[in-house]
Amino acid sequence: MVRFFVSAEELMGEDAFLTGENAQHAKVLRLKAGETVLLCDGEGREALCQITQAEGGQWRLQVMERRKSQSEAAVAVSVYMAYPKGDKLEHVIQKATELGAREIVAFPSARCVSRPDEKSLKKKLERWQKIAAAAAEQSGRGVIPRVVTLGSYREALQRAAQADKALLFYENEQAVTLKMALSADGYESVSLLTGPEGGLEEAEVAQAREAGIQVCTLGKRILRCETAPLCALSAVMYHTGEF
């Protein structure tokens, strides 16, 4: 079913309208009166609607049912990724959205080569959020994940530690596997932290432990910085019954 993201206010009345880019998209799809579409507010609420007018550039819809989004994961997963080089973060944002992440958080660490300044970061953040919105619409999400940028590694640790289960992945960890870290039940939120191309320094890993974050391994092979967060996210979704 075709879905469109609209503001929460646009879902309040008995009728709704498609405007702007949504109207253009509906035109391209050649939607007609009588067809059913789904309107989502991007925050987990949606409305099943029937098109009642599709003429003269006007798209009027009748709201038939309002409900909680049926495509969201039961566990809220936040992906924390140290700034990578190039457009790797864009790839992670897109794929993490498809896989069900609730938010993607970027932060600096000691070995980060990429360190966007405040001016460029503002433009990048707008682009990253658009990538998340497009991926959410394409993959049938009911929530558009937030893309967040933080100013320091310490801030990332403090924020990530607030989740019910916070995990950091380190290639030199051998004792605790991801399967072991996920074995306990009863958590509703998970934070997954990964480093940049050069990995995290030992001192940074020690900081994570001090912050109450579980350090674990993703296996015997070294994964690229853009592969590790998606691998961990997929494993969490599998473990919690989403796949």
pLDDT at 106: 97
Give the residue numbers spanning the domain of 231.
76-239
pLDDT at 78: 98
pLDDT at 56: 72
pLDDT at 191: 98
Q: Looking at the 3D structure of the chain, how many domains does it have?
A: 2
Last residue of a domain, one of 68, 90, 122: 68
The CATH number of whichever domain residue 142 belongs to comes to 3.40.1280.10
The CATH number of whichever domain residue 64 belongs to comes to 2.40.240.20
Are 8 and 83 in the same domain? no
Last residue of a domain, one of 68, 88, 107: 68
Q: Which residues of the chain have pLDDT under 50?
A: none
Are 63 and 166 in the same domain? no
Long-range contact pairs involving 151-156 (C-beta distance under 8 Å, separation at least 24): 151/107, 151/108, 152/107, 152/108, 153/82, 153/107, 153/108, 153/109, 153/110, 153/204, 153/207, 154/207, 155/107, 156/80, 156/105, 156/107, 156/193
Last residue of a domain, one of 49, 68, 87: 68
Are 181 and 162 in the same domain? yes
Are 165 and 56 in the same domain? no
pLDDT at 9: 84
pLDDT at 50: 93
pLDDT at 118: 81
Are 34 and 99 in the same domain? no
Are 58 and 136 in the same domain? no
Are 223 and 114 in the same domain? yes
CA distance 223 to 225: 6
Residue type, 29: L
Q: Residue 127 in 3-state DSSP?
A: helix
| Predicted TM-score (pTM) of this structure | 0.87
Are 40 and 105 in the same domain? no
